[in-house]
Amino acid sequence: MKKASLPGILAAFVIAALAVALPSFAGAYPLQVARNVILYMALAVSWDMLLRSGQISFGIAGLFGFGAYASVLAVLRGGMDPWLSILFAALLSGILSFAIGLAILRLRLMYFSITTLALAEILRIIIHNLHDFSGGPEGVVLEGSIAGGNASALYLLSLAGLAVAIGTSLYFEKSKLHLALTAIRNNETSARSSGVDIFRYLLIAFVASSAIQGMMGGIYVQSYGFATPESVFDANFTLLPLAMALLGGIHSTIGPMLGAILLGLAAEWLKLQIPYGHLVVYGIIIIIVILFMPKGLYGLARGGRKSS
């Protein structure tokens, strides 16, 4: 296993310190942009965690929306503390994905992907139709945002969510799990014959990445104070993290983070340039990355360093 270099660790500390200190020198708008970037970064990293096993999930929006509703309904219907409800969202998403995973993690390739996409739709339709409980198509409104809507607090909350995502992903990268997942991706049969308990590792990765997605849904919804099926189950919550991870470089923690920063900032700028249809950029980036640099930017940099 590769040891992290000293300059690398130092750089990571500086960046982390800057990220934590951002509210003390940035205004409301940059903080808002940063929150968006952080949200998508956490989703991109969590998506990659499962992808390392070779399983592509198209269901990020489903778990995100499920977590959002779990959190909002726990507060509204169960009178739960909003902060606690975020953990509750993570827990419930984890439990749900455990149950789902038992059934669908035996599927491979396109069958797994399509099933996750279908499950996301099922969750959305259920929320859409449970009028009395979930508020139906009109959604539900909380009494207010968490922490009174204080911009710095909301930013730090998102950052905490991201820290959980990155921490889990780094732990996965350094632990035995990483070897197991990589083995499954590269050659499942040989992984199985060398005694890797494939199903168990897939389940761990699936539950962990889903819990993070649910948690981010909880953070999102508590920050904005309302949820509608269309806003929290938006397909963009699947699409954007996927494009970011691909651009930055999949099968790593740094790649998706890099992609999230680049695309997240670019998206803010493009939103002003092309109000309708700025997502076309995401589509084109996906196509170009797949065709010309399937390893992403981080992969290119890593490959370049190796060959030089």
Interface residue list for another protein (CB under 8 A):
54, 56, 58, 103-104, 106-107, 109-111, 113-115, 117-119, 121-122, 125-126, 128-129, 239, 242-243, 246, 274, 276-280, 282-287, 290-291, 294
**Residue (32 or 236) nearer to another protein, CB:** 236
CA gap 136, 128 in Å, rounded: 5
Q: Is the CB of 115 or the CB of 213 nearer to another protein?
A: 115
Residue with tokens 């905490």, as numbered in its chain: 160
Percent of residues in the chain assigned helix, strand, coil, to nearest 5: 80, 0, 20
CB of 95 to another protein, least distance (A): 19
Backbone CA torsion sign across 37, 41, 43, 44 = positive
As measured in angstroms, the least distance from the Cβ of 21 to another protein is 36
Question: Closest CB to another protein among 152 and 236?
Answer: 236
Residues 235 and 131: their CA atoms lie apart, in Å, by: 22
What residues pair up with 227 in beta bridges, in sequence order?
Answer: 140
For tokens 């997502």, the residue is 279
In this structure, what are the phi and psi dihedrals at residue 228, rounded to the nearest 5 degrees? -125, 155
Q: Is the CB of 49 or the CB of 90 nearer to another protein?
A: 49
**Smaller CB separation from another protein, 38 or 44:** 44
Report in angstroms how near the CB of residue 291 gets to another protein at its nearest.
6
Beta bridge partners of 134: none
Closest separation in Å from C-beta 223 to another protein: 26
